[in-house]
Amino acid sequence: MKHKVGKTISIYWKYASRHKPLFFFIFIASSIAAALNSIIPLYLKRLLDLIAGSEISDEIYKSALWILAFMAIFEIGRWAFNRMASFSEIRFLARTIAEISVGNFSYLHKHSLSFFTNNFSGSLVKKMNYFTRALEMIVDSLCWSLVPLFVNMSIIISVLFWRNWLLGLGVLLWMILFYTITFFFSRWKYKYDVIANEAISKTTGFLADTITNSANVKLFNGYKREVGQYSALHEDLRKKNLFAWNMEEFFNSITSFMMIALEVGLFFMAVILWRQGIFTAGDFVMIQAYVIMLIMQGWHFGRTIRHLYRAFSDSEEMTEILLKEHQITNHPRAKKLKVDKGGIELNKVSFNYKKTRKIFDHFDLNIDPGEKVALIGPSGAGKTTIVKLLLRNYDISGGSILIDGQDIAKCTLESLWRAISLVPQDPILFHRTLMENIRYGRPSASDKEVIEASKKAHCHEFISELSEGYDTYVGERGIKLSGGERQRVAIARAILRNSPILVLDEATSSLDSQSEIYIQDALDKLMKDKTVIVIAHRLSTIKKMDRIIFIDEGKIQEDGTHDELSRKKNGHYAHLWELQAGGFIE
């Protein structure tokens, strides 16, 4: 736990140190305000001693006014420094939280595809938000609780030792006992806060998952199952929260009793000292003010320590993500990929999923510049994996992948992705306008160029019929559009991007026959002068490809044109062709 807290603090300090003058001024101003607050009871004591020990006179009256004036100056000073600390904290937190959020966002997006497939999006959002919220809690705790506590306790102990060493020693021993118990209890409770936080992440992740799949819940009569599972998760969370809260309340009961003992003990000693003629009426007022201050500070200290540990437990999950090294990174001396022709070579490529499921073992594949190649075969054969490896969604365990003779592992990821346009089987769109979604292929494109690409992809027709046209928001993951409409938008995006290498992963699978005719025409134009890889199950869409490669069990079983493979006796492709009529599986 100590190691993780230290790592979390180092991450926060990396951003906070950018604003050192503002950061330290917050605590200086807060310390001065706390010191002034602790000095005021001394003047209250002097005022009461003056009034109680003297007859009414003009001189006494003037002295009392002077004391009140000093008290007013200290009160105004305390108010002013508190406000300066408060406004400085607001300014500091606004800047730092914004920088942390952007930094975390940037680091998160550099994680590999496998990272995101293994984490719920809702859980990641929760971890991001909790991390920045934790910083606010930490700075608040330091500025308004721990720093004032240290300053106040130092002054109070000094004053009490000055008045009577036994009184000062008694309060010092009480403080050591109280704060030691509070610290170790909060440290012990931390692990249970982490456990409760993990339960919250599971509940949040499940909630995000079930909302995303709300259509499936309805279509497959999953309402009762989902409610049951969500209830079970919340029951687990309830038990963990109940235990943590009960322990906290039990501790509060103990500390409250200790505070009562402090108050009674201090006044008991004060009465004894008063009887001995050492204490005055003003001392009683001062002690009362300090007792209130000690109780309030002690109460806040317990809550502050627990809040600090809770803040660190909230930030721990995000800290783990920020400490987790990126799986796919640029080579230290990576250069930009320059694609002039678009030739692709896979040389003795080996790859396993999670080191257990072998996909390729010394796999070879050459695609000439400008060649149109179709990859077919049963599900799980490795077709889509080839595309993922080409895009470096995963790194290979052996061999090399070259584009125009350049090893993609030694090229920058950004330049690699810029050279390849992908139209996936199930395009996922941003919850943004259609104009923004299509322009995502090339952010510098003008509205005219976006519309031109849309016309080529035959999505301009349905967009024009929408009341808000290209300014229509498509909903989360593009849910407001049909599957075919989403695919046409994705094709328009690829047309606009105009990369030298084009990958079509079942790009026409969600289209009706009429739309497919339009799209095939657009794709023919798009594929001109490009190296193209097509993954397809509907064989009618790949008849015109230069080569058709049948892959099974991570190996090339057949390689040739449609005419060559369809006439091959007992061939895999010929068998599939016989099963299909008009491009549809019987």
Does the pLDDT of residue 402 top 90, yes or no?
Answer: yes
Each residue's pLDDT tens digit, 90-111? 999 999 999 999 999 988 888 8
Look-up of token digits 């584009």: 403
Q: What is the pLDDT of residue 356?
A: 67
Selection from 175-184, 250-259, 487-496 with the highest mean pLDDT: 487-496
**Which two structure tokens, joined as six digits, stand for 250?**
């039990």
Reported confidence tier of residue 467, pLDDT bands at 50, 70, 90 = confident
Give the pLDDT mean for 452-467: 86
CATH of 342-419+538-578, one of 3.40.50.10330, 1.10.260.40, 3.90.580.10, 3.40.50.300: 3.40.50.300
**DSSP structure class, residue 401:** E
Over residues 115-136, the mean pLDDT reads 82
Mean pLDDT of the chain: 83
pLDDT above 70 for 481: yes
Highest mean pLDDT out of 214-223, 294-303, 355-364: 355-364
pLDDT at 169 over 60: yes
Q: What is the pLDDT of residue 50?
A: 76
Q: Given a cut of 90, is residue 568 above it in pLDDT? A: no
Residue 352 bridge partners (DSSP): 358
Domain boundaries, the chain: 2-323, 342-419+538-578
pLDDT digits (tens, 9 = 90+) for 348-390: 999 887 766 788 888 999 999 989 999 988 887 888 889 889 9
Beta strand 398-403 with 372-376: parallel, antiparallel or unpaired? unpaired
Average pLDDT over residues 212-232: 80
Quick one: pLDDT at residue 166? Answer: 80
**In a 10 Å sphere around its CB, with 0-12 CB exposed, 13-18 middle and 19+ buried, how is residue 351 labelled?**
buried
Point out the least confidently predicted range of 5-9, 172-176, 190-194, 568-572.
190-194
Which amino acid makes up residue 483?
A: G
Look at residue 22 in the predicted model and tell me its pLDDT: 93
Position 2 confidence tier, pLDDT thresholds 50, 70, 90? low
Asked if residues 294 and 300 have their Cβ atoms less than 8 Å apart, the reply is no
Domains 2-323 and 342-419+538-578 share a fold: no
Q: Average pLDDT, stretch 412-436?
A: 87
Rg for the chain, CA atoms, rounded: 35
The per-residue pLDDT for range 235-245, each reduced to its tens digit, is 888 888 888 88
Q: Is 470 a residue whose pLDDT tops 80?
A: yes
Percent of the chain with pLDDT over 70: 94
pLDDT at 508: 65
| pLDDT at residue 242, as a whole number | 86
Number of residues that this document lists for the chain: 586
Name the more confident of 53 and 474.
474
The confidence score (pLDDT) of residue 156 equals 84
User: Of 71-85, 108-122, 124-138, where does mean pLDDT reach its minimum?
Assistant: 108-122
Average pLDDT over every residue of 79-96: 94
Is the predicted pLDDT of residue 343 greater than 60, yes or no?
yes
Scored b (16 or more CB within 10 A) or e, 367-397 reads bebbbbbbbbbeeebbbbbbbbbbbbbbebe
- Which homologous superfamily does the CATH classification assign to the domain defined by 2-323? ABC transporter type 1, transmembrane domain (1.20.1560.10)
The H or E element spanning position 360 is strand 357-367
Percent of the chain with pLDDT over 90: 18
HSE of 335, CA atoms in CB hemisphere, 13 A: 6
Which helix (H) or strand (E) segment is 560 a member of?
A: strand 555-560
* pTM (2 d.p.): 0.72
Per-residue pLDDT reduced to its tens digit, 508-546: 665 666 666 767 776 777 787 889 999 887 777 787 888
